[in-house]
Amino acid sequence: MKYRTIGTGPHSRRVSVLALGAMLFGSVTDEKTSFALLDRYAEAGGNFVDTSDNYAFWTDGGQGGQSEELLGRWRRSRGAGDEIVFATKLGARPLAPGTSYTDNPEGLSAKVIREASERSRERLGLERLDLLYAHIDDHTVPQRETVEGFGALVAEGAVGLLGVSNQAVWRVERARALAAAAGLPGYEVLQYQHSYLRSRTDVPGDLFPDGSLGHAGAELAGYLRAEPTLTLVAYSPLLKGAYTRPERLPGDYDHPGTPARLAVLRDVARETGATLNQVVLAWQIGHELPVLPLAGVSSLAQLEENLAAVDLELSAEQRARLDAAH
């Protein structure tokens, strides 16, 4: 396994370059399989596990919590300590069963931040959350309140690092500026969708009526270049299996750049003897920007494939060809 440091200061952590997504653990992925995947990941040196307080509410019409609860059971049964870095999120948990984060989210008020983080610590069995994200934005609450709410948890020792996901870059920068001006810790880890294929970001959706803010595009890349202490955690790096099952490719990837990039990706896979998925992950891990792929799996075969990508070294010429395709 290879490792990278996330965050700065006393709460910085050394994490594996391949993060394990636990979104469906304890719901779609049963407990026995989930435990086996966590065991193998830890055995391989993986130590960066990602979840959220709302995973996976859509599987049973509830409010989520299954993933955190399963991870807590795994931790206790294995005697896992602080060698495993757990990241969780708050802000997108539905306030009532049968609703969603698009119509009834918990939001990012100081009250929610405190209460939701306490519930997450209890489910995970942790005294301190290693990394806590603001899952989605909340325009109904002043950003200062959100910043101060997160900062208080860090000051109390209930949270280590802070992160943010699915927010406009200008909102992230404003929150970080507010934190800096108040002498409070700010967001240091950014979790956005990022893969080798590029999505159109102008397609409106229920959460983003003006086009997606959840994809790591040019503006976010420029932000990372300007702020070298930040880290991008890339969710859905393998596009839910679409590299090997093209019918799964979302419609916002239907544009002229996709065939061109796929052609180069297939060439590099043939040259290296690796799978398409492994080339994508290796491309991210070795990226000039600090990118940590966050991949979910449902079988040991998928996990083994992903783990092998950590040791795949792409040549400078191969990287240049992959980057230039458009």
Are 312 and 284 a contacting pair, CB within 8 Å? Answer: no
Residue 84 has what pLDDT?
97
Residue 5 has what pLDDT?
98
State the number of CA atoms in the 13 A half-sphere of 48 facing the CB.
23
CA dist., res. 245 & res. 199, Å (int) = 17
Residue 253 has what pLDDT?
95
Residue 260 has what pLDDT?
96
Which numeric CATH code is attached to 3-324? 3.20.20.100
Dihedral sign, Cα of residue 159, residue 231, residue 16, residue 59: positive
Q: What residue type is 137 in one-letter code?
A: D
| pLDDT category of residue 212 using cuts at 50, 70 and 90 | very high
Query: Is the pTM here over 0.85, yes or no?
Result: yes
Residue 268 has what pLDDT?
98
| pLDDT category of residue 237 using cuts at 50, 70 and 90 | very high
Domain ranges of the chain: 3-324
pLDDT digits (tens, 9 = 90+) for 113-135: 999 999 999 999 999 999 999 99
Are 50 and 233 a contacting pair, CB within 8 Å? Answer: yes
Residue 239 has what pLDDT?
97
Residue 36 has what pLDDT?
98
* Tokens of residue 29, six digits: 């992925």
| pLDDT category of residue 312 using cuts at 50, 70 and 90 | very high
Residue 209 CA: distances (Å) to CA of 35, 99, 111: 38, 19, 27
β partners of residue 3:
16
Q: Distance from CA of residue 227 to its chain's centroid?
A: 19
CA dist., res. 17 & res. 86, Å (int) = 14
Residue 184 has what pLDDT?
98
* Collapsed DSSP state (helix, strand, coil) of residue 194: coil
Q: List the end-to-end C-alpha distance of the chain, in Å, as a whole number.
A: 31
β partners of residue 94:
105
| pLDDT category of residue 64 using cuts at 50, 70 and 90 | very high
Residue 79 has what pLDDT?
94
> What's the per-residue H, E or C state across 202-248?
CCCCCCCCCCCCCECCHHHHHHHHHCCCCEEEEECCCHHHCCCCHHH
CA dist., res. 275 & res. 280, Å (int) = 9
Structure-derived torsion over alpha carbons of residues 110, 113, 114, 117, reported in degrees to the nearest 10: -170
Q: What is the DSSP string of 121-171?
A: HHHHT-SSEEEEEE-S--TTS-HHHHHHHHHHHHHTTSEEEEEEES--HHH
Residue 294 has what pLDDT?
98
Pairing of strands 85-90, 3-6: unpaired
Residue 13 has what pLDDT?
98
Are 52 and 23 a contacting pair, CB within 8 Å? Answer: yes
Q: Please list, in sequence order, all residues whose beta carbon lies within 8 angstroms of the beta carbon of residue 289, skipping any fewer than 6 positions away.
A: 221, 224, 225, 232
Residue 22 has what pLDDT?
98
Are 305 and 277 a contacting pair, CB within 8 Å? Answer: yes
Residue 6 has what pLDDT?
98
Average pLDDT, stretch 60-84? 96
pLDDT digits (tens, 9 = 90+) for 286-309: 999 999 999 999 999 999 999 999
Give the range among 31-35, 138-142, 199-203, 260-264 with minimum mean pLDDT.
199-203
Structure-derived torsion over alpha carbons of residues 112, 117, 20, 259, reported in degrees to the nearest 10: 20
Angle in degrees, CA 53, 56, 57, rounded to 5: 90
Average pLDDT, stretch 218-242? 97
pLDDT digits (tens, 9 = 90+) for 158-187: 999 999 999 999 999 999 999 999 999 999
